[in-house]
Chain A
Amino acid sequence: MQITLTVNGEQRELEVTPYTRLLDLLREDLGLTGVKEGCGKGECGACTVIMNGELTASCLVPAPQADQAEIITVEGLGTRDNLHPIQESFVEAGAVQCGYCIPGMVLAGKRLLDENPKPTEKEVRYGLSGNICRCTGYAKIIDAVMLAADKLAVEGSDSND
């Protein structure tokens, strides 16, 4: 069946089957391999995308349910040479080890800061609680999101000047 969705700002029309998960559609049909599969059952957060403004486990969305949706993947944030502040913060805070959870973490951090630009550490922890990381013990990832909040605040205040 045919669905239409917007991925990273670009509208796409795709022929899909219901046994294609949004995860497969993004990775295989659209080549957005920043979306990762860690468990396939919504228990790890590696496949996280922002769907219609909310964090979503793309492994649990049958492709037809993504009809008319707006999807943001990690590829929609920044590029190597022009990182989004949250990505930059992950690099600077030393939050990246194997990196497999990182696209999902970055999106969870972004989603949190979109809603709550000045989160407490506790709020950051809860915001990331759907994303498992096995390498870092989370400390530097929490740092990274706090750092990004500060960066975005500085950016915001600069643009107000």
Chain B
Amino acid sequence: MKKFGRGMATIMFGFGYGEGFPDHSIASIEIKEDERIVIRTAAADVGQGVITTVIQIAAEILRINPNYFEVVQGDTHKTKNSGSTSATRQTYFTGNAVKKAAEDMLANLYHYGSLEFRSNHPEIAIEDGKIYMYDDPDDYITYWEMAERVKERGEKLEAEGSFFPVTYSPDENGQADKVYVAYTFLSQVIDIEIDTDTGIIDLLDVYSAIDLGKAINPKNVEGQIEGGTVQGLGMGMMEDQVIRNGKTLNAGMTDYLVPTSVDVPKFKHYLVEEEDSEGPFGAKGVGEPTLIAAAPALANAVYDAIGVRFFDLPISPSKIKKALKEKEENS
């Protein structure tokens, strides 16, 4: 028999290292004569898309198509510290650092533009890689020409930005004014079916609503929600590195199982974008929060389906079947 169940979970996640730990990102932007804009940051792109995120932010500020950008990303000798890709911090921290660098660059484009056009900022327009006077759009110089001219001055068309918000270390009672820079919230509803013959959970649908301030790239945010949720569901129902007497019994992917394409549910998302955080364009981090609600929502759905609470993870078929039997025997 198949039994339907539905569970909800709401979670929060304070992101950034917090707790007074120095947490900052440094990034720089250089406009090159050869039609490239180079962003330098040590922020590691582990697949989550920080490269694309910072390009979008810089492109927005510098008013030019993302295709012109190149990111120099991971080389201790070519980039400055951008902190770790962890604590759900890169969009907020490195995003802000890049935004500041881009703003500095934009200001300098105005500065050098005003020198070229013997004018002042209000009369200058900057758009799509061109600098010109509002009243004469045809007489423009490109960013690349500008880079060349700045170079002739013996300078570089380069800007650096950093972001270093303060947090405080909690006292011995765990108390402080600001422990984390901000919090991301997410609510999730998960629908499942339990096969009472086998104790196997079928994942049907997952509904998520996330308070993320602003999605710099909505599709990438969806990717985070889907990927995070599936990791959380793996934690909820199958993943378990079994270590007995110090030795791992299932080292390898034969018996350490994560969900496959036929195990995963369907998704529907809602992005709450109030643009009210201090991150770039109001964005908050999403990486970790997307994982956290899944296991408890699943546990609540299992309870809804069969009326049994599970306090130990993972909620495996063996545990479900045993609980069903005990329930039957007791009734």
Which residues in A have some Cβ–Cβ distance to B below 8 Å?
38-39, 41, 43-44, 94, 96-99, 124-126, 128-129, 131-142
What's the minimum C-beta distance from B64 to chain A, rounded to whole angstroms? 21
B248 interfacial by beta-carbon distance below 8 Å: no
- Which chain A residues lie closer than 8 Å to B226 at the CB level? 136-140
B118 interfacial by beta-carbon distance below 8 Å: no
Q: Mark B188-222, 1 if CB is under 8 A from A, else 0.
A: 00000000000000000000000000000001101
Query: Could you tell me if B253 and A94 are in contact, using CB atoms closer than 8 angstroms?
Result: no
- Which chain A residues lie closer than 8 Å to B266 at the CB level? 139
Cα-based distance from A142 to B223 in the complex (angstroms)? 12
11 examples of A-B residue contacts, CB within 8 angstroms: A39-B253, A41-B253, A44-B253, A97-B49, A133-B261, A134-B258, A135-B47, A136-B226, A137-B228, A138-B260, A138-B264
Tell me whether chain A's interface is mostly helix, strand or loop, or mixed.
loop
What is the chain B residue whose CB lies nearest that of A142? Answer: B261
Query: Could you tell me if A137 and B260 are in contact, using CB atoms closer than 8 angstroms?
Result: no
What's the minimum C-beta distance from A136 to chain B, rounded to whole angstroms? 5
Cα-based distance from A126 to B49 in the complex (angstroms)? 28
Query: Could you tell me if A129 and B47 are in contact, using CB atoms closer than 8 angstroms?
Result: no
B229 interfacial by beta-carbon distance below 8 Å: yes
Cα-based distance from A136 to B46 in the complex (angstroms)? 12
Query: Could you tell me if B252 and A138 are in contact, using CB atoms closer than 8 angstroms?
Result: no
Q: How many residues of B contact A (CB 8 A)?
A: 26
Query: Could you tell me if A132 and B253 are in contact, using CB atoms closer than 8 angstroms?
Result: yes
Which 4 A/B pairs are nearest by Cβ-Cβ distance? A98-B47, A137-B226, A97-B47, A137-B230
Which of B47, B229, B252 has a CB less than 8 Å from the CB of A39? B252
What's the minimum C-beta distance from A38 to chain B, rounded to whole angstroms? 8
Query: Could you tell me if A137 and B229 are in contact, using CB atoms closer than 8 angstroms?
Result: yes
Query: Could you tell me if A41 and B252 are in contact, using CB atoms closer than 8 angstroms?
Result: yes
Query: Could you tell me if B258 and A94 are in contact, using CB atoms closer than 8 angstroms?
Result: no
B20 interfacial by beta-carbon distance below 8 Å: no
- Which chain A residues lie closer than 8 Å to B1 at the CB level? none
Q: Mark B259-270, 1 if CB is under 8 A from A, else 0.
A: 111101011000
Which of B223, B254, B262 has a CB less than 8 Å from the CB of A135? B223
What's the minimum C-beta distance from B321 to chain A, rounded to whole angstroms? 24
- Which chain B residues lie closer than 8 Å to A99 at the CB level? 47
